[in-house]
Amino acid sequence: MRICSLLPGATEVVAALGLSDDLVAISHECDYPPEIRPKPVVIKSAVDPRRTSSPAIDRQVREAMQNGNGLYRIDESLLNSMRPDLIITQSLCDVCAVTPTEVQRAIAGLAQKPRILSLDPTNLEGVLHDIEAIGSATGRDEQARHLVQSLRDRIAGVQALVQGAPPRRTACIEWLEPLYCAGHWVPEMVTLAGGVDRLATAGAPSVRITWEQVVDAAPDVLVLMPCGFSIDRTCSESDLLTSRPGWNGLPAVANNQVYAVEGAAYFNRSGPRLVDGVELLAALFHPSRFGNRLPEGARRI
């Protein structure tokens, strides 16, 4: 089967099902596992986050959406030359990745249309369901079931370890300027890890918030996970928060419990590594139950 994945989380699933060699094309954001990186990239973004500040990225995104230009362009010639049998995309967020409508437009001229599998999970159960959907679409049903069960077992293991521990008041920030709290599956991840999300609602989209809301939430733990950012990139812009009035009065700051995490790897993408994110949060919230070690993928601010 010739698979084109336009969603980083789906690419991770395809690889986890042993189908890396079947991937004929990927998106510009697909970077895991490392062996898929040489694959042809058929998506280009109107915004280069590596060279643009958070406020400027937000401005460019808003302008592109308002003008109807879209954020992503499909290399139609390259995509068509790859002759995919299956294209995996998403319908959850126009800002995060190319939409099914754009994919349909790109393949309109093909004599033989590939199947399009569109994913739109809003919670962890939806992510697990999509793993099984990818397994079904690729003939890897059994492998997908095993993967889902292993992820469920790991989640249950975290829950067992944090059982009885006092829940930590938590705020998860998905964008630094303007401020957004992390929505969809992240509040659920916080709960599973033994925390209480003070800003977001489980299953609901990420929303813009005020700094006053963060102060009023008085989080014991503050986790910075800007969408698509590495830890280094997040830390380089942390002054967007630390310079705000009332920063030093936050309980998380006073107790040295502010962390930057690998957002793209463990929180922003609807893939298997969200379970790694649950494990990471649990280790931050209840370190004594996880060996008192700062987990990989997190850095204290």
Please give the residue that has the higher pLDDT: either 18 or 74: 18
pLDDT value at 51 more than 90: no
289 and 200, same structural domain?
Answer: yes
CATH of the domain at 139: 3.40.50.1980
Q: Is the bond preceding 40 in cis, omega lying within 30 degrees of 0?
A: no
Residue 155 lies in a domain: no
**Distance of alpha carbon 100 from alpha carbon 170, whole angstroms:** 35
Please report the pLDDT score of residue 49 as a whole number. 64
For the chain, percent of residues with pLDDT exceeding 90: 80
pLDDT band, very low/low/confident/very high, at 48 (cuts 50, 70, 90): low
- Go through 20-38 and write b for each residue having 16 or more CB atoms within 10 A of its CB, e for each that does not: eebbbbbbbbbebeeebee
195 and 67, same structural domain?
Answer: no
34 and 136, same structural domain?
Answer: yes
For the chain, percent of residues with pLDDT exceeding 70: 92
95 and 42, same structural domain?
Answer: yes
Please report the pLDDT score of residue 258 as a whole number. 98
104 and 21, same structural domain?
Answer: yes
Residue 60 lies in a domain: yes
**Distance of alpha carbon 266 from alpha carbon 284, whole angstroms:** 14
Which tens digit of pLDDT belongs to each residue from 225-246?
999 899 999 999 999 999 999 9
